[in-house]
Every structure is written in C-alpha cells, then in structure tokens.
Amino acid sequence: MLENILTVGEQVLVLFLLMAVGFVCGKLKILTGNAVASITDLLLYIVTPCMILYSYQRAFDPDMLRGFLIAFAAAVGIHLINIVLSLLLIRDRDQARRRVLQFAAIFSNCGYMSIPLQQAVLGSDGVFYGSAYIAIFNLIFWSFGVFLMSGDRKAFSGKRILLNPGILPVLAGILMFLLSIPLPEFLNTTMASIASLNTPLPMFIIGYYLSNVRFRECPISGAVCWSMALRLILLPFLALGLMALCGVRGVVLVTSTIAASAPAAAATTMFALKFHQDTDLSAELVSLTTLFSILTMPLAVGVAQFLA
C-alpha cells in the first residue's frame, strides 16, 4: 500500500508544481484577474467538455456501462451523505459563515483537481468513470448548492440544472458510447490536443488564487478546522469504506475516491461572492484544503488502490 500512496503522491506533487507556476505567475502579475476569468471560461466551456467527450470515444462495452452506472450510484450516495452530515455537524450562529463552511465540506473540486489526477493515474478510463461523478456533482451543485448559498428555492429549476456545461457533454458522450458513434479521426485528434490542457490550466488557476490569499490575515478557527477535516478526511474515508463494503472495486473505486477526496470546490469562493456570503472565509477554506490535500489525497487514493 505504501507504494500506491507514493505513486499517487508523485502525481499530486506534479499537480502542485503546476500550481506553483500559477502562484508565481500571480505574484509576478503575469496572470491577472481578467486573464484567469477568461481561462476559467475556456476550461468550463471548451477544454473540460472536450476531455469528457474524448473519454467516451470507445466501442460500446457492457462492462464499462455497468461500471459507469456503479460510479453514478456511488456519486449520488457520496453527495447525499456529504449533505446530511455537513448540515448536521457544522453549526455557526453567523448564517453567512455557516453556509460557506457547509458548502466547502459538501462539494469537492472534482473537476479542476480530480480529472487531471484521474487522467494521470488511470488514463481515459478514469476520466470516463469520473464523468459520472461530475454529472451528479453538477446536478446537485446547480440545485442544492445554489439553494444552500442563496436560500432561493428557484435553484431547483430543471432548466438551470440540466442546461449547464457540466451535464451536456456527459449526455452527448453517453449517447455516442451507447450507439458506438465514432467521430472522424481529425476531430478526435483535435479534441485530444485541447483535452491535454485540462491538467495545467486548472492548476495555474488554483495557484493564482493562492497567490492572492493573505494567510497571515486568515486565522484558522475551530470551525474552519472542522470543515476541513470533514472535506479532506472524514467524508472521503467514510465514502471509501462504504463503497468497499458495498463491493465496489477496481477503477470505479479509485476514480470515485479521487473525486471524493479532492479539496473544497473552487466555486465555493465564486458562489460566496455571487450570493454575498463570507468571501474571505471561502478563499481561506479553498486555499487551505488545497494545500493540505497534498497529504490527504495520496493516503485516500493509495488505500483505494490497495482495496481495488
């Protein structure tokens, strides 16, 4: 198991070195807020959809479909457990703080952080199964997540949930997989080239945000530590244990564990800003969970690989 942990640790270290590049670029003003906003849109609307679609370019395989459905069910269960336990265990008299603390514990950075690691450790199969987690993440993120941060029940609108860039490429990819629809080779090559950007660009963005955090002005309170412990340790290892008990094994177990053990979603800060919650707290949680995940993710994923 130690070998598995070290292998994953090396992959995570590569991601953190890429973050360091983004951090330095942020400090040197090579990356600016406007540039990062544009890169984020590029990732959201072009790069990640290409990565997901490319992973579905394979002949129909009943075993792959069965694995995808298991990954889909696991993602549903993980998110429901995250929601219930976070709402029960995280308390704060300040509503703005409580919303951010709960949101950060519930939602992992399963896009920016997990897909590059799934690609590095498991190849296209990891991205294939990982897209099931992302689909569930987006369904819950754009419904319950918006409701949690805003208190607006209109967040459960079907249009808002389904018509987002995290769901559409998954639906298109599933259709192509089920019907075994191959794309022309030149399109596959183009998508592969674009998809290769999905590892460095998200890490540059996270590094940029880290470069703007004033850590000396961010006291680490007990509430912050508790939310971090839930996101990085308690919830991921609970998910891993329950999946193992339910008989989930192989690539699906490792893929789901990578997504479940990722740090707080970068969107925690974006939503806190949009819905006028505690923005400083959100930046602190995203930054600190990202930093500490270099220790916790290899452990969780190493255990998953051992059990797989």
Q: How far is CA 162 from the centre of its chain?
A: 18
Whole-angstrom distance, CA of residue 208 vs CA of residue 2: 32
Whole-angstrom distance, CA of residue 267 vs CA of residue 16: 19
Whole-angstrom distance, CA of residue 296 vs CA of residue 212: 24
Structure tokens, 5: 């942990």
Helices 62-89 and 95-106 meet at what angle, rounded to 10?
150
Q: In this predicted structure, what is the pLDDT of residue 164?
A: 67
From first to last of its 308 residues, the chain has per-residue pLDDT tens of: 677 677 777 777 887 888 899 999 999 999 998 888 888 888 878 888 888 888 888 888 899 999 999 999 999 999 999 999 999 999 888 888 999 999 999 999 887 788 888 888 888 889 889 988 988 888 888 888 888 988 777 656 666 666 666 678 888 888 888 888 888 999 989 998 998 888 788 778 878 877 877 766 666 788 899 999 999 999 999 999 999 999 999 999 999 999 999 999 877 877 787 788 887 788 788 888 988 888 899 899 999 999 98
Return the amino acid letter for 106: I
Whole-angstrom distance, CA of residue 40 vs CA of residue 35: 9
DSSP string of 34-86, one letter each residue: HHHHHHHHHIIIIIHHHHHHHHT-S---HHHHHHHHHHHHHHHHHHHHHHHHH
Helices 62-89 and 235-245 meet at what angle, rounded to 10?
140
Return the amino acid letter for 289: T
Name the DSSP class of 156. Answer: G
Whole-angstrom distance, CA of residue 106 vs CA of residue 83: 6
Name the DSSP class of 184. Answer: P
- The answer to whether the CB of 110 falls within 8 A of the CB of 83 is no
Query: What's the whole-model pTM score?
Result: 0.84
Phi-psi map region of 29: left, alpha, beta (phi>0 left; psi -120 to 50 alpha): left
Q: Is 187 helix (H, G, I), strand (E, B) or coil?
A: helix
Q: At residue 108, what are phi and psi to the nearest 5 degrees?
A: -95, 165
Place of tokens 């949680």: 285
